[in-house]
Structure 1
Amino acid sequence: AGVFEGKPDFDLLLPPEEPAEERRAGEAYCKKIEGFLINHVDPDEIERTAKIPDTVLKGLLEIGAFGMKIPTQYGGLGFSYKNYGRVLTLMASWSNILALTVAVPQSIGIAMPILLFGNEEQKQKYLPRVAREAISAFALTEPITGSDAANIQTEAVLDSTGSQFIVQGEKLWCTNGPIARFATLIARVPARRAHRDGKSVWVPVPEGKGAEDLVHTAFILDMHQAGVQIRQRCQFEGCRGIENAHMTFQDVHVPVENVVGEIGKGLKYALIILNVGRAISVPAICLGMAKQAWQPTLDRANSRQTFQKPIGERQTQQMRIGQMAANLFAMETLALLVWHLADHKQFDIRIEAAIAKMFCSERTIHFLKDAQIIFGGMGYETAESKRLRGEPGFGIEQLVRDAEMYRIGEGATDVLRPFVAREGLSQHLDRARTYFDERVTGIERIREFVRLLRFYIPWYWRQWRRNPLSSRLEMRHPKVRSTLRYAERVSRRLARAILYAMAMHREALRDDQGRQNRIEAVGEDLLTIAATVLSAESKERTAGRHEAWDLAEEFFRNARERINRNIRELLRNHDRILTVIGTRALHGDYPSLSSGIIRRGLNEYLPKDKR
């Protein structure tokens, strides 16, 4: 977050080294998983049948793959986040659907909520089961609520005996739902305020009588409980083997002992555990998919002849592959950094997690589309179709289809960008809230203006003064030092530009997503620039590998162009013109755009009996 305030602390990107024994444990388990995947998992069968065989899931449970993040005292492997990410990357390079199925129970299934917020009895009862025996799921999204999770409608009402909650409602896109024994359920509980031990808490009220509000609460749901019904196994453009449910709850009885943490904190818990998916699972799976495509793409470019010449010798493809290499290096570097930060619990990595999720998912989509272009027609044909006539059955088209899900899941890009940008905006908007309030007039407004001046004059002066870099060994390398000096300088420039934008647009900046997206993009690039140069320095210093600098410097060159454009457009852009056109289109002002076709609106695609 310091990047948005003009005072980045690059030392935070260099936490203590990973213990050697921890790394060895992760590498050994990767070997074990690799053997299991090669000998027991047919990814083409999963794609063809849209089903992961039960024998595969049972085998992974037996070797602890579903309990990597569960401590050993509860039957798990007790891995670090970094080792967990390594294993998921390896699995995703073989089958991203299998990696996703393994990741969900360990990030948003019942294991993580219980570990973070559950009591000891819940840990003893459930963690050994989900580590080695049972798969779990996450039930938050509903048909009318996605990223807007605060508006869920599923209710859990305490019964008259006070011993159990009665759940009514429905959930959509519940990953692992059809095969799960347990699920993390987020529902709204009728409750009232009470005071206990000197603090205000929510207390559920029997049968909802006298409730002051419906508050979000987390539960451990037994999927075998009467009233839980899987209505549909959802099908998607890609990720064909995924088990994803639309399910309903009718008079489902959940014991009060199954409440996780405190009444009223379910949404907070859900957002916290989603950080695990954003920081670790999604970047790892995306990285594995991109790495899976890398070598076949090089092989295709070197072997495919057009006009008596391999396409890899043509400049267009060389430039495309060069860009892919730089992006793959940046993705891996950023992912490893965020995993490492997550292992050192003193860091709040909400922002870094969101950036890692966005960067890796978006870059993977572009990476795989570029690979598909290099494959040409072969990249559009399915692996099974190619295999029938003796061609290599590499399914780049499947990876392209699958990748889109990772941009959407765990927080869509268009939702996370403003979330990150508000780290840069909120401090200014909160500080100036009273001054921007149109109801404030006269002497009070003058006082507020003076107060702001007293703060911002010295603040603004500091944004023109260079902050010294650390003297740590990693930062003494001349390329590292010059790059981080650039990042520090741009951070101060960004902070000034945010202030200028606030002065020009005032309270309207809170809803100006075009500018917010640019703020996030600059922060994303600065974090990744710093990560890549520090990684290149480490590879050179510890392994004598100088080639990483080619990739780091190429990413830096492209990022610098993006940064200049985004900061410039933070102050002056054409967003308003596009916004007006979009608004007019939504109001039906361009009827000619739908002329000359058999025109059908969205509701005309409903089944005939529901129109």
Structure 2
Amino acid sequence: MILWLICLVVGCLILMMARVNAWIWLAAEALWIFMGGAVAHVDLPILVLLAIVMFTPTLLIAIPSIRQSLISRPALDLFRKIMPSMSATERDAIEAGTVWWDADLFSGKPDWKKLFVLSPPRLTTEEQSFLDNEVEQLCAMVSDWDTTVVWQDLPPQAWQFVKDKGFLGMIIPRQYGGKQFSAYMHSQVIMKLSSRSSVAAISVMVPNSLGPAELLLHYGTEQQKNHYLPRLAQGLEIPCFALTSPYAGSDAAAIPDVGIVCKGMHEGQEVLGFRVTWNKRYITLAPVATVLGLAFRVRDPDGLLGDEPEPGITCALIPTDHPGVVTGRRHWPVNAVFQNGPTSGKDVFIPMDWVIGGLAQVGKGWRMLMECLAAGRAISLPSSSVGFSKMATRGTSAYTAMRRQFKIEIGKFEGVQEALARMGGHLYMMDATRRLSSMAVDAGEKPSVISAISKYHVTERGRMVVNDGMDVIGGKGICMGPGNFLARVYQQIPIAITVEGANILTRCLIIFGQGAIRCHPYVLKELAAAADDNHERALKDFDDLLFSHLSFVAANAARAFVGGISCGWLLPAPSIAAKQTRRYYRAVVHLSSAFGLLTDVSMGVLGGTLKFRERISARLGDVLSQLYLISATLKRYEDDGRQVEDLPYVDWSIQDALHRAQEAIVDVLHNFPNPWIAFGLRVLIFPLGLIYRKPSDVLGTRVALAMQTPGAARERLLDDVYIPQGDDPLACGEKAFRLMPLVHQIERRLKDSVKEGALPAAPQSLIDMRDWIALAAERGLLNPEERKVLDDFAHYGDQTVQVDDFSPDFDLEENRQKALDVLS
């Protein structure tokens, strides 16, 4: 009897996960009832009762006409009542871009082949040369200290170099004189520049992200492309794009800036155009731009364009020297001091030809922006965050390896190791996410949801990395000066958090709010079926979708339970994946199924009000995001050739992300409006309790030690960024760090001499260490090569530890003159 009942449970779970049709369910039920009599010897009346109870609903579902009449028609009527209203701008935002791996994560059953089929990212010979030469040269021309204190901008020579070498035309095709670099190369350039100077990175990223070039490529007329794209590529034009208004920041679709359709004079002729009034702020490059991309709302009171009095948001290109255009004033973004400022105009007449795409694109600007934003958001800010995080991690890990307190390197203290582990683990996952997102763009995707995930989570982890770095280097981090490699980045982090959609907005409204409808395999189709005016067709389509949707929910529920009861071991993992990481693939399937189930239950219980329950939406988005970040990390481990030395970073970052995803699910259930449903879901998803733990202390120590050990693993973590030369503090720290193995080897050899009294113990101060080195050499305990190693280590280490100080006037005039001398 017990075995017979176990067969019922196991059989149901298998059939639910296999998503078989109702007739197969009916056959399976008949077989089970037959086995009850033949094997389990169940009494006939009980079997008859079971047959009635099981066969009746199954037959009802199996026969389409009955199912549609009794279930689907009432369900369609109810769905139409609770269906959330959707404005045209909301629909444009949801339908913009493409869905990719995010849809697989919504499915509960990711197809890992989609990731494995993507080749590891590679640069062309031309791209690698540009990165090794022009980008390297630009990095050498700038620093965060000079750009923020001396110039409050890029130095003039650096600006000219940016224009002359084609930095502003990286996304423009070669036929127009551009570089036509891949998205991955674009990402590499921004990452490297960000490891040296945020001003340089921002000045380059904006023209290559959402802006005139991107919009022209996709929507411009041939005349507009032929005129502007060569000039943008050669740096003859500096572009900006004005979208944000004082009273329409995050709600950009509500911009108040207006263009009234009218006729006016242009170049001596009367032409159709707009009388535009705008007031924009936070516009990067606006103070120095020569061409202004402008988004405004069109009104056509006289019907010059047709019957629609308000065609909608429109994008135009306006030369900044056009009469009435106001630019030049600057904002001061938290000590990044890149070119950013307001622009305005009142009753400025512009001809219709200046609309991007011409007359055919009037009113389609919002859709244009939504479709083009995804690619830029997936590349620019994630790449810049990874760049400055690599710089912070390189400098901090080197500092902890050679800086001593209490006669021991501070990197051996457990508290410091805890911070280092977070830095290394987060950075590995951040870089993996950056790479995968740019690969998606290169594969032809416009990943709107994935770009939001990348932007939010990579910038937030960048904040964590820099905060931990500041905690570790202590007093050196809070004293400004050219020797401080972290302070400016620490100050500038809110910029990445705020722009291209503030992170609060991105987390609460976009990731899940957009993804739940766009990435779900059935919801958008159900909305379309419910909106169909042909009632017979609507019922048929809705019926098919409804029962496919219910089958989908059942499959996710079954997989979630199987994953929870077996800690993931009974769920599938791709056979081509590395053995060391297969448990993580199973965990993703488990939490993906749980996420899909939780999403459907939340939409069913909350209906159209879900989009107003921002905290629940945000936590659901957190689950989806962590699954994407884990997928990117697994992909990176495979692409890098399964480097065993990288496993501490892989294990730490994925275990941390799994725990975060689990906590997000628990938080959703703790705040779910129906506690009984929440309790049932928790038992279903985590029948054995919470199974994903934070990374252990032992694992954290492994990560911290790997970061403080020179070698290939550390270089893979920190590769492709700028490493300064000379006496730059970051360069000195790296030079001292690379000497550490030889220094330790020499110290071990001298240990017996210290014990025997032939040599005093090495001092903690690197300045005093020079006298100790001289004494050891004088007593014949060091050969010339060893003495040079120790002398260099003492010099570079001391340069790293020192803190900048200034005269009472902070040497501002002297610093400016030095910068001029260097540039000349």
TM range (shorter): 0.7 to 0.9
User: 1:57 is matched by which residue type in structure 2?
Assistant: W
For the residue of structure 2 that corresponds to 1:164, the secondary structure is strand
Q: Which residue of 2 aligns with 1:325?
A: 424
Return the alpha-carbon distance in structure 2 between the equivalents of residues 41 and 239 of structure 1. Answer: 13
Q: Which residue of 1 aligns with 2:215?
A: 113
Q: CA deviation at 1:575?
A: 9.8
Paired-residue identity, %: 26
Q: CA deviation at 1:52?
A: 1.5
The correspondence of residues 159-178 of structure 1 with structure 2, limited to 5 A, is 159-160=262-263, 161-178=270-287
Return the alpha-carbon distance in structure 2 between the equivalents of residues 226 and 450 of structure 1. Answer: 60
Q: Which residue of 2 aligns with 1:409?
A: 499
Q: Which residue of 2 aligns with 1:462?
A: 555
User: 1:173 is matched by which residue type in structure 2?
Assistant: Y
> Is 1:259 matched up with 2:350?
no
Which among 410, 413, 434 is matched to residue 311 of structure 1? 410
Matched residues, number? 539
Which among 41, 44, 54 is matched to residue 142 of structure 2? 41
For the residue of structure 1 that corresponds to 2:471, the secondary structure is helix
User: 1:534 is matched by which residue type in structure 2?
Assistant: K
Give the aligned CA root-mean-square deviation in angstroms. Answer: 2.9
Return the alpha-carbon distance in structure 2 between the equivalents of residues 97 and 420 of structure 1. Answer: 28
For the residue of structure 2 that corresponds to 1:233, the secondary structure is coil
Q: Which residue of 2 aligns with 1:69?
A: 171
Q: Please, which moves more after superposition, 276-285 or 150-159? A: 150-159
Q: Which residue of 2 aligns with 1:179?
A: 288
Return the alpha-carbon distance in structure 2 between the equivalents of residues 539 and 210 of structure 1. Answer: 58
Q: CA deviation at 1:361?
A: 0.6
> Is 1:281 matched up with 2:380?
yes
Q: CA deviation at 1:558?
A: 1.1
CA contact (8 A) 1:91 1:98 kept: yes
Q: Which residue of 1 aligns with 2:490?
A: 400
Which among 370, 376, 391 is matched to residue 271 of structure 1? 370
Please list the CA deviations of residues 101-130 of structure 1 after superposition, one character each: whole Å capped at 9, or x if unmatched: 111111122111000111211111000111
Q: Which residue of 2 aligns with 1:509?
A: 610
CA contact (8 A) 1:190 1:205 kept: no
Q: Which residue of 1 aligns with 2:701?
A: none
**CA distance 1:572–1:35, shift in 2 (3 Å):** closer
CA contact (8 A) 1:139 1:184 kept: yes
Please list the CA deviations of residues 537-566 of structure 1 after superposition, one character each: whole Å capped at 9, or x if unmatched: 33235xxx3222111111111112112221
Return the alpha-carbon distance in structure 2 between the equivalents of residues 115 and 449 of structure 1. Answer: 39
Structure 1 unmatched ranges of 5 or more: 193-203, 385-392, 437-446, 577-611
CA contact (8 A) 2:120 2:639 kept: no
CA contact (8 A) 1:480 1:537 kept: no
> Is 1:421 matched up with 2:501?
no
User: 1:489 is matched by which residue type in structure 2?
Assistant: H
The correspondence of residues 86-125 of structure 1 with structure 2, limited to 5 A, is 86-125=188-227
> Is 1:383 matched up with 2:383?
no
Please list the CA deviations of residues 362-389 of structure 1 after superposition, one character each: whole Å capped at 9, or x if unmatched: 11011101100011122111125xxxxx
For the residue of structure 2 that corresponds to 1:230, the secondary structure is coil
CA contact (8 A) 1:108 1:137 kept: no
Please list the CA deviations of residues 508-550 of structure 1 after superposition, one character each: whole Å capped at 9, or x if unmatched: 3221111111111111111111211221133235xxx322211
**CA distance 1:38–1:503, shift in 2 (3 Å):** closer
Return the alpha-carbon distance in structure 2 between the equivalents of residues 517 and 486 of structure 1. Answer: 21
Q: CA deviation at 1:283?
A: 0.9
> Is 1:530 matched up with 2:631?
yes
Q: CA deviation at 1:93?
A: 0.9
Return the alpha-carbon distance in structure 2 between the equivalents of residues 140 and 90 of structure 1. Answer: 28
Return the alpha-carbon distance in structure 1 between the equivalents of residues 514 and 278 of structure 2. Answer: 35
Return the alpha-carbon distance in structure 1 between the equivalents of residues 241 and 546 of structure 2. Answer: 49
CA contact (8 A) 2:148 2:335 kept: no
For the residue of structure 1 that corresponds to 2:227, the secondary structure is helix
Return the alpha-carbon distance in structure 2 between the equivalents of residues 140 and 424 of structure 1. Answer: 24
Which among 187, 198, 203 is matched to residue 85 of structure 1? 187
Return the alpha-carbon distance in structure 2 between the equivalents of residues 449 and 340 of structure 1. Answer: 36
> Is 1:560 matched up with 2:658?
yes
Task: Return the index of the structure with the highest Cα Rg.
Answer: 2
Q: CA deviation at 1:214?
A: 4.9
CA contact (8 A) 1:275 1:350 kept: yes
Q: CA deviation at 1:89?
A: 0.8
For the residue of structure 1 that corresponds to 2:245, the secondary structure is coil
For the residue of structure 1 that corresponds to 2:343, the secondary structure is strand
Return the alpha-carbon distance in structure 1 between the equivalents of residues 397 and 596 of structure 2. Answer: 42
Q: CA deviation at 1:448?
A: 13
For the residue of structure 2 that corresponds to 1:490, the secondary structure is helix
For the residue of structure 1 that corresponds to 2:349, the secondary structure is strand
For the residue of structure 2 that corresponds to 1:547, the secondary structure is helix
Return the alpha-carbon distance in structure 2 between the equivalents of residues 18 and 536 of structure 1. Answer: 10
Please list the CA deviations of residues 407-465 of structure 1 after superposition, one character each: whole Å capped at 9, or x if unmatched: 1111111222221212553357768889x9xxxxxxxxxx9999997445422332225
Return the alpha-carbon distance in structure 2 between the equivalents of residues 266 and 424 of structure 1. Answer: 22
Q: Please, which moves more after superposition, 294-303 or 60-69? A: 294-303
Please list the CA deviations of residues 575-596 of structure 1 after superposition, one character each: whole Å capped at 9, or x if unmatched: 99xxxxxxxxxxxxxxxxxxxx
Please list the CA deviations of residues 253-282 of structure 1 after superposition, one character each: whole Å capped at 9, or x if unmatched: 322211113111111112222223211111
Q: Which residue of 1 aligns with 2:309?
A: 212
CA contact (8 A) 1:422 1:516 kept: yes
TM-score normalised by L of structure 2:
0.62
User: 2:391 is matched by which residue type in structure 1?
Assistant: Q
**CA distance 1:125–1:512, shift in 2 (3 Å):** same
Q: Which residue of 1 aligns with 2:400?
A: 301
CA contact (8 A) 1:66 1:106 kept: yes
Q: Which residue of 2 aligns with 1:152?
A: 255
Q: CA deviation at 1:39?
A: 4.4
**CA distance 1:557–1:76, shift in 2 (3 Å):** same
Return the alpha-carbon distance in structure 2 between the equivalents of residues 109 and 452 of structure 1. Answer: 40
CA contact (8 A) 2:168 2:233 kept: yes
TM-score normalised by L of structure 1:
0.82
Please list the CA deviations of residues 59-93 of structure 1 after superposition, one character each: whole Å capped at 9, or x if unmatched: 11111111111111101111000111111111111
Q: CA deviation at 1:38?
A: 4.7
CA contact (8 A) 1:500 1:571 kept: no
